[in-house]
């Protein structure tokens, strides 16, 4: 049984002090349950204040939105896995479509980032997803499996077991137009089949595949109760405590959990 995972990707929102008051407010509204794992991914500059506000025994995890693959060195403006580990991060988002499209991140860099995260015991959340043009030209599956092949290449089954995949169609990210449950499930099945063929059925059954792209309190239940959807990577709707809490409650309705 895969434990659902809900990740709040704050993107470039909230200062460190805003983050602390937001987390205090969120803690008053959230249902924290062992049935669903929760992770907050604030900007680097707010990781420490979120960590301190959550407290040392919090069940809510901390994630970063990016990292550099080297442990340290002359890489102005970059942040390493070691630095994130030292701030108690356990997850890191890698290859988000905004990183790929706005900052020119390529598959090779993404593969190195996945490797660096695993080496330092950070769990990568590898984002994949097609553009609207690619979907309309029936290239979704080829595109997504190509991104998986690049991002996961060379990983052992043990390494892969620490990886989460986030299927985020680019046309759904920040647009208010989420994929339908059927569209998401079809791609999730293709991702699982890719993992089964590259590693094993056991690896495929174990890997968590999140959906991301305009998840809202209104559509969360329909998406998150689908058997194939193991949680969500939430952008816009995680910035308001009420809507994030509602999405988490929706994930608790998953049958069999
Ligand atoms: P969105 O963003 O929920 O605002 O569409 C999702 C993401 O980018 O991870």
CA 163–ligand 1 middle distance (angstroms)? 19
Give catalytic status of residue 141 as yes or no.
no
Span 99-158, pLDDT tens digits: 999 999 999 999 999 999 999 999 999 999 999 999 999 999 999 999 999 999 999 999
Give catalytic status of residue 70 as yes or no.
no
Residues of the chain falling short of pLDDT 70: 257
Span 238-252, pLDDT tens digits: 999 999 999 999 999
d(CA 37, CA 41): 13
CB of 233 within 6 A of ligand 1: the answer is yes
Nearest CA to ligand 1 atom 6: 235
Query: What is the model's pLDDT at position 230?
Result: 98
DSSP secondary structure, 27-54, as one string: HTT----TTSEEEEE--GGGHHHHHHHH
Query: What is the model's pLDDT at position 250?
Result: 96
Query: What is the model's pLDDT at position 71?
Result: 97
Nearest CA to ligand 1 atom 7: 235
Q: Beta strands of the chain (E only): which ranges?
A: 5-9, 37-41, 61-64, 91-94, 123-128, 164-167, 208-212, 231-234
Query: What is the model's pLDDT at position 1?
Result: 83
| Tokens 């407290």 found at | 55
Sign of the dihedral through C-alpha 62, 68, 74, 75: negative
Q: Which atom of ligand 1 is nearest to the CA of 216?
A: 3
CA 100–ligand 1 middle distance (angstroms)? 14
Query: What is the model's pLDDT at position 257?
Result: 66
CB of 95 within 6 A of ligand 1: the answer is no
C-alpha dist (Å) from residue 11 to 65, 194, 244: 7, 29, 15
């Amino acid at each position: 049984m895969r434990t659902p995972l809900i990740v709040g990707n704050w993107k470039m929102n909230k200062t460190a002090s805003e983050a602390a008051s937001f987390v205090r407010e969120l803690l008053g509204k959230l249902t924290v349950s062992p049935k669903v794992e929760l992770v907050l991914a604030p900007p680097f500059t707010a990781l420490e204040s979120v960590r301190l506000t959550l407290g040392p025994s919090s069940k809510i995890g901390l994630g970063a939105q990016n990292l550099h693959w080297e442990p340290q060195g002359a890489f102005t403006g970059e942040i390493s896995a070691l630095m994130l580990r030292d701030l108690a991060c356990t997850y890191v988002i890698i290859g988000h479509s905004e990183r790929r499209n706005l900052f020119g991140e390529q598959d090779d860099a993404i593969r190195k980032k996945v490797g660096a995260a695993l080496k330092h015991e950070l769990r990568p959340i590898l984002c994949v997803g097609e553009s609207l043009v690619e979907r309309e030209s029936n290239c979704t599956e080829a595109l997504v499996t190509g991104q998986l092949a690049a991002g996961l290449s060379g990983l052992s089954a043990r390494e892969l077991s620490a990886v989460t995949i986030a299927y985020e169609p680019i046309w759904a990210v920040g647009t208010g137009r989420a994929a339908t449950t059927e569209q998401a499930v079809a791609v999730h099945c293709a991702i699982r089949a890719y993992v089964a063929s590259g590693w094993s059925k056991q690896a495929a059954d174990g890997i968590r595949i999140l959906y991301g792209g305009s998840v809202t309190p209104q559509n969360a239940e329909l998406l998150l109760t689908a058997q194939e959807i193991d949680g969500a990577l939430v952008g816009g709707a995680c910035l308001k405590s009420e809507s994030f809490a509602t999405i988490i409650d929706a994930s608790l309705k998953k049958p069999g959990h």
